[in-house]
Amino acid sequence: MPEILLRDIVKRFGDHVAIDHIDLRVRNGEYMVLLGPTGAGKTTLLRTISGLVQPEEGHVVIGDRDVTSMPPEERGLAFMSQTYSLFPNMMVWDNVEFGPAVRGVSQRDVDALAREMLLLVGLLDRRDAFPRELSGGMQQRTALARALAAGTDVLLLDEPLRALDARLRIALRLSIRRLCKDLGITAIHVTHDQEEALLVADRVAILRHGRIEQIGSSREVYDNPASPFVAQFMGEANFLIGKIQEANGTRTVLRSNGRVWQARPSHLSPHQEACMAVKSEKMKIIRGGSGLPNTFDAKVTRRFFLGRFVGLEMKSDVSEKTMKAKVTAVSGEKITEGDNVSVSMDPRHCMIFPLPPTGLEKELEVE
């Protein structure tokens, strides 16, 4: 179970800096997820680890080997790319068998492994089909089975579930993680799906503009985001802008639009410009709460059904921006568009950040 170490990796394409001095350590047997918006540098970083992209600066170390200058075939890893790269003249079964067969695994074990992998991805009944006879989702599942069957200690997965229907995607994501854990594989999984990342990752590295914004466990990056961008990207958030009135180890008080809000403790200075973020699912709709601390009145302008939840968009004098809440279907059942409601924000869920130098709007942009 080799560790993967990236040291000060830089990759440019012309004037564009795709990877900007990234340092990352992926632990032995860890299931690491690279998460971020389109263009953040996730795939480029994965291809750099695989050897398909050569960095201008920095080093890639796998186990005890510096593999920066090694070709892909000498790095001892399996890579599932977004293009699948299946052998068009081989049937599904032969594509999956190729890796272990090349390694000299006995035919009996090769057959058993191919069968297990095709059962996992639900394609055993298409074992004799050629890639051109499969749908895009089936081709993706074949590529996934082939990568898992490769038998290496390092597995790189670039959007492995993106072309699959929702039901199959949900079933496969935990199966892939479980298999990697059972086999002791060190895995790096690229996705732009926040729910997928939170579910499967030991740790999540959030990328933006070719840099790592934050790295931590799923709970850490969700409950304790390092920046307004991460707070918004890891679940929709509402923001209030103001100035710090008080900050200590017990609480932070923010003054915004003539109102005072209590928030989590912080080390910001009095009079410092700041923003407060509250995730939409932490906004509590209450009855008769006007005037209570951390409570504001609002008018529901839009209501939409989300299955187990109800989404609400609201207008209030506390902000020029639309405020959003996500409540359970039961609690939102009697709320209709046009209703006047009171909204409560528990200080424990109110996160405080320094106001970004470029402004909040620029900070929250997703390219």
Strands (E), the chain: 4-13, 16-26, 31-35, 57-62, 65-66, 77-80, 154-158, 186-191, 203-208, 211-216, 237-247, 252-256, 259-263, 273-279, 283-286, 295-305, 309-316, 319-328, 340-345, 351-354
46 and 12 belong to one structural domain: yes
Which residues does 135 contact at the CB level (< 8 Å), separation at least 6? Answer: none
60 and 168 belong to one structural domain: yes
What is residue 3's predicted lDDT score, i.e. its pLDDT? 95
User: What CATH number did the domain enclosing 279 receive?
Assistant: 2.40.50.100
18 and 98 belong to one structural domain: yes
What is residue 289's predicted lDDT score, i.e. its pLDDT? 65
User: What CATH number did the domain enclosing 133 receive?
Assistant: 3.40.50.300
23 and 72 belong to one structural domain: yes
The domain total for the chain is: 2
Each of the 367 residues of the chain gets a pLDDT tens digit; together they read: 689 999 999 999 999 999 999 999 999 999 999 999 999 999 999 999 999 999 999 999 999 999 999 999 899 898 988 887 899 999 999 999 998 888 888 999 999 999 998 998 899 999 999 999 998 888 888 988 898 888 788 999 999 888 788 888 888 888 889 888 988 899 999 999 999 999 999 999 999 999 999 999 999 999 999 999 999 999 899 999 999 999 998 999 999 999 999 999 999 999 999 999 999 999 999 876 666 789 999 999 999 998 899 999 999 999 999 999 999 998 888 899 999 999 999 999 999 999 999 999 999 988 6
What is residue 290's predicted lDDT score, i.e. its pLDDT? 64
241 and 192 belong to one structural domain: no
Domain limits at 311?
230-364
189 and 243 belong to one structural domain: no
278 and 176 belong to one structural domain: no
28 and 45 belong to one structural domain: yes
Residues 181, 31 contacting (CB under 8 angstroms): yes
53 and 186 belong to one structural domain: yes
Last residue of a domain, one of 223, 257, 287: 223
Residue with tokens 């017990």: 250
pTM above 0.85, yes or no: yes
244 and 160 belong to one structural domain: no
257 and 349 belong to one structural domain: yes
